[in-house]
């Protein structure tokens, strides 16, 4: 099991009010699966993704990632898990604007202490994997939306993560570029990468092999792998 969430609750305190955002979420995923979590805006998708991505802690409940109890981890351990086990893809790419595609993709390897030569090689390899071998020296402003997202996917893969997490990966793209990103995810999943994608778009969700719905912070049954 790559992911195992049990009775995950998340609430935010605002003034005197406590706002529940996730309520007793149970969800699990096998290694190599491709799952989409679907729900309308405000249903708690990003909140859930941030917990799964070790960017945020739940208020209560247990969460195992790759066999490790993340609910018991401190901040240092959480950043280490993020760096080594998780690849992130966001709606708005989150690329550094002044750095080339190559430098953006190299960044996680720099954090991981990989020597320069190997860094270069692996970043070029990841960019080739997403079909951008002829764009390594381009800056984000010189790339289309679809190309920017492919750079972000190369960056997400370069540390060979255990799971790829994507929050609305096609949300900022036109239909054709969105389709290309979905084809890429499908290929990666067929090569063995576990993929968890969040979307409010049913057509996009249907690319996954399993779909789970969330509404008002409640994940519908079917979340168990």
CB 179 within 8 A of CB 145: no
- Of 42, 96, 128, 174, which lies in the binding site for ligand ADP, with binding defined by CB under 6 A? 42
Paired with 22 in beta bridges are 10
For ligand ADP, the closer of residues 19 and 96 by Cβ is 19
d(CA 197, CA 165): 6
Handedness of CA 8, 12, 17, 21 (dihedral sign): negative
Distances (CA, A) of 17 to 11, 12, 14, 48, 225: 10, 8, 5, 21, 35
Per residue in 135-166, is it b (16+ CB within 10 Å) or e — as a string? bbebbbeebebbbbbbbbbbbbbbbebbbbbb
d(CA 77, CA 83): 10
- Binding residue for Mg ion (CB under 5 A) from 46, 104, 170, 180? 46
Shortest distance (Å) from residue 46 CB to ligand ADP: 3
| 3 vs 51 by CB, closer to ligand ADP | 51
Q: Does 26 bind ligand ADP (CB under 6 A)?
A: no
- Minimum separation from the CB atom of position 190 to ligand ADP (A): 28
| Shortest distance (Å) from residue 162 CB to ligand ADP | 23
Binding residue for ligand ADP, selected from 33, 45, 124, 146, defined by CB under 6 A: 45
Segment contacting Mg ion (CB under 5 A): 19-27, 37-45, 103-111, 128-136? 37-45
What is the C-alpha to C-alpha distance for residues 206 and 147, in angstroms, rounded to an integer?
Answer: 23
* 161-200: contacts with ligand ADP (CB under 6 A): none
Q: Would you tell me which residues interact with Mg ion (CB under 5 A)?
A: 45-46
Q: Would you tell me which residues interact with ligand ADP (CB under 6 A)?
A: 12, 14, 19, 21, 39, 41-47
């Amino acid at each position: 099991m790559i992911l195992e969430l049990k009775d995950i609750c998340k609430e935010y305190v605002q003034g005197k009010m406590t706002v529940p955002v996730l309520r007793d979420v149970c969800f699990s995923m096998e290694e190599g699966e491709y799952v989409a979590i679907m729900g309308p805006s405000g249903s708690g998708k990003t909140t859930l993704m941030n917990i799964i991505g070790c960017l945020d802690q739940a208020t209560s409940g247990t969460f195992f990632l790759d066999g490790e109890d993340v609910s018991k981890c401190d901040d240092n351990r959480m950043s280490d898990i993020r760096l080594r086990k998780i690849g992130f893809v966001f709606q708005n790419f989150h690329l550094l604007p002044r750095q080339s595609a190559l430098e953006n993709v190299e960044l996680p390897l720099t954090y991981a202490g990989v020597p320069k030569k190997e860094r270069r090689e692996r970043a070029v390899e990841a960019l080739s994997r997403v079909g951008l071998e002829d764009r390594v020296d381009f800056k984000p402003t010189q790339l289309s939306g679809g190309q920017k997202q492919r750079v972000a996917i190369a960056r997400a893969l370069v540390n060979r993560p255990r799971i790829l997490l994507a929050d609305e990966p096609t949300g900022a793209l036109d239909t054709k570029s969105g389709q290309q990103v979905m084809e890429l995810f499908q290929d990666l999943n067929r090569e063995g990468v576990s993929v968890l994608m969040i979307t409010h778009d049913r057509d996009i969700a249907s690319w996954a092999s399993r779909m789970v719905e969330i509404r008002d912070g409640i994940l519908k049954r079917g979340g168990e792998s």
